[in-house]
Structure 1
């Protein structure tokens, strides 16, 4: 991906230039005719305060068909899993550029309406627009031939895949409005067995999408969900019993609800569930005309702190071996907003969680040198990833790799949007060890620090 490499180099050069400007003491204040306010950052390199996974940067691929429209705009094009052009070289190289391999989570709202590989007289029909159905579409189907094609693409690109299974199959409506009864995993089991027999490598199987708590479109009680996760674990253990390492068992792929998540974690026991996933859309709907104001408002960015800290505390207090992932994060729901969530300004939301670069400063635990100005700007440029990392999140899956108005890649051309480079920079530069940082001077600048990727010592 030579063009992407050239653009990445230019972006790095531009960031260094801007870092120098922003890093000059009092530069901003002087320009405004105000006295300079002192700003001090300290990085404690003596110990790590948290750790991410090697697959921290992750992206999603969704099921939405071309006629998925929000607010009069159909932003998905042919980016859905059933329509995506898997022969496109730009798309292939965009995934290949990540090394270690990029983690891809396959799922989304229509995930719980997908059946797999019908045959013998049963047609494998696509999604059909139907306003009376949940999420506005009928049940759809993944043909096994398309699953073969997708896995061929994953093999060529080197991507690691987590597949979201349909968790509503077989359930019935209950008087309280939830969906009850045990999960019918017959169809899911056929896909898992087919996948294993074909030798396709799946990093994890995730159960359901946004069915936790009050749910989005539908909900399932935590007690029943826990029983279904236990059934999925037994299925995975059986299918992969001869494999030295088994796919992860991942759940619930929904919005964090303290009581619901606690019941799920406690009832699945300490070692059964591999990953607890939650979703992030803290900016509200994509139609909000004040999205940019929210993105640039520190108080809005701080709104996710309690979710990350509460989930971290839950996992520690219950003694589970499960780790936390952000399984889907698009910031603004209903496909985002064109020229906002696919533009440079969105990096102030996305990368703030990602942000903070260490390894440039040849110093001990107090890092005060010119090179660290890049660290300050990068933190400002990039909050969701840095914040998530600080609370022991192991993977952070951006909605989406391509599709909607929040894709890392343009939906039509697959050319990178600005946040693609934010993700790639993080992936290439940031190590897994998260360091403690204190910063004083202004709440408009965020500071996060990690040891550099491949660093052998704790101190950067």
Structure 2
């Protein structure tokens, strides 16, 4: 899908006028700060232990034909555990650091931690469906240390976590904590379990409701606070509410534990960190209908703010003052669309980071690092996708201090942070989602980092006109900016511009 720049003189004049207002960095209001690990990511428990995960689109028809499965199960296939010791993977991940590394997901809800060094059990104990070994968890801990990460996770909630009378057992929580500490690891933050709003889809016991959740949480919270108080309790990790998921098979979805009902049963200020998940829709696997054109609209890009507003109301009512994390997000649920792996999703990725930073979110954890179409890296080769290069630029250039940049023009958005490591400098992130060239007036001399591509659905991107590639196949290249003067600057159609200005 090629696109060309074609501006008439009249349109060019109109666009210049739209940008005639000055960008005054000296008086631009400071509106907040974000965590130094604002940009973070998920490695799902399914990836760590191996299990059923999303079939790649190019294999979907063939796998469905021969699997003998039907319905939702036919969309997934067996994947092998990820090798967290692979040097290429670690090199690319470390370049994104510091970051929170979240190991959770649906498979974490019924996984049994085999806390010994004996051969892997043939099957999980009753009440669990999957097995996490010491070696696999040590791989997670070693990886987190190697990439300047902090570990975020969750615990099981399946029948095996409950006594015959339905009361919650803490033995698996204790076992994972004990082993983590024994290998000099740390769990920074943990939810009791993943996505309680969809509990029946996440292995919770039959009939699980908000009152049962509250009983379990009281036991869980009391244990953690006395046994491992250095681990923050986060939650609820809810997803999909607020009228966000309204396409495909998610339309009219019923939530097992609506957040307001769940929170109303809990003690005052139950979570040290308030967490939620966001997907703007579901992928084509599950009936979604996103297109390259639709995901560049303001309606699509602003949905992340709509999702946040719903959960902010709950945070403010039940856990006022707690930091809020979006600890699972991507282009679309159900593994992402094919377009999630291409250049067009760079706009959603960066707009989401920019918009949520302005609204006070402290960390955004992308799903996933290296699995399915929505991953930052290709599944098997771990080659960078366009979103990886966007993430790398954000991580190297955008600091933690957030400023209100106001608006530029319809389809051309700007976000301003301090330069990373330089409180006095500023980084401007300007995204042109339109089909036309735009003009921006830079407020001073600096360096530009311009991301472009030949087409929207390519996996190849250019930085200042040069295609981005790894060095020696496994190392991240130096991202070099080009010097620019202040004043009018052309911004190509469908392009992303970072500009660093040292002095304001």
What's the secondary structure of 1:328's corresponding residue?
strand
Alignment of 1:172-321 (within 5 A): 181-212=166-197, 216-217=201-202, 220-240=208-228, 246-255=230-239, 257=241, 260-265=258-263, 268-269=266-267, 271-287=269-285, 288=288, 290-318=290-318, 320-321=320-321
* Cα distance between partner residues in 2 of 1:107 and 1:325: 15
How far apart are residue 104 of structure 1 and its match?
0.7
Alignment of 1:23-422 (within 5 A): 29-30=7-8, 36-37=14-15, 38-40=17-19, 42=23, 45-62=27-44, 63-64=46-47, 65=50, 67-70=52-55, 73=60, 83-99=81-97, 101-117=98-114, 124-125=121-122, 139-170=129-160, 181-212=166-197, 216-217=201-202, 220-240=208-228, 246-255=230-239, 257=241, 260-265=258-263, 268-269=266-267, 271-287=269-285, 288=288, 290-318=290-318, 320-338=320-338, 340-353=339-352, 385-422=353-390
Unaligned regions of 5+ residues in structure 2, if any?
64-74, 243-256, 427-503
Q: Is the 8 A contact 2:116 2:134 kept in 1?
A: no
* Cα distance between partner residues in 2 of 1:261 and 1:47: 34
After superposition, give the CA deviation of every residue in 1:254-288 in whole Å (9 maximum; x if it has no partner): 21547943455565455541212111111322334
Q: Is the 8 A contact 2:32 2:401 kept in 1?
A: yes
After superposition, give the CA deviation of every residue in 1:58-102 in whole Å (9 maximum; x if it has no partner): 11101154653446537999876xx11123110011122134x22
TM-score in terms of structure 1 length: 0.72
Match of 2:442 in 1: none
Match of 2:412 in 1: 445
* Cα distance between partner residues in 2 of 1:303 and 1:165: 30
How far apart are residue 391 of structure 1 and its match?
1.5
Q: Is the 8 A contact 2:161 2:172 kept in 1?
A: no
Higher relative contact order (CA 8 A, sep 6+): 1
TM-score in terms of structure 2 length: 0.66
* Cα distance between partner residues in 2 of 1:218 and 1:328: 19
What's the secondary structure of 2:396's corresponding residue?
helix
Q: Is the 8 A contact 2:191 2:233 kept in 1?
A: yes
Match of 2:463 in 1: none
Match of 1:455 in 2: 422
Q: Is the 8 A contact 2:150 2:188 kept in 1?
A: yes
What's the secondary structure of 1:112's corresponding residue?
helix
**Structure 1 223/445 Cα, relative in aligned 2: closer, same or farther at 3 Å?**
farther
**Structure 1 252/271 Cα, relative in aligned 2: closer, same or farther at 3 Å?**
closer
Equivalent residue for 2:393, pick from 422, 425, 431:
425
Q: Is the 8 A contact 1:196 1:239 kept in 2?
A: no
* Cα distance between partner residues in 2 of 1:312 and 1:53: 17
Q: Is the 8 A contact 2:342 2:386 kept in 1?
A: yes
Q: Is the 8 A contact 2:238 2:277 kept in 1?
A: yes
Answer with 308-317 or 70-79: which moved more.
70-79
How far apart are residue 405 of structure 1 and its match?
1.0
- Structure with higher strand content: 2
Unaligned regions of 5+ residues in structure 1, if any?
1-21, 128-133, 173-179, 354-384
Compute the RMSD of aligned alpha carbons.
3.5
Q: How many residues align?
A: 379
* Cα distance between partner residues in 2 of 1:122 and 1:185: 24
Q: Is the 8 A contact 2:378 2:385 kept in 1?
A: yes
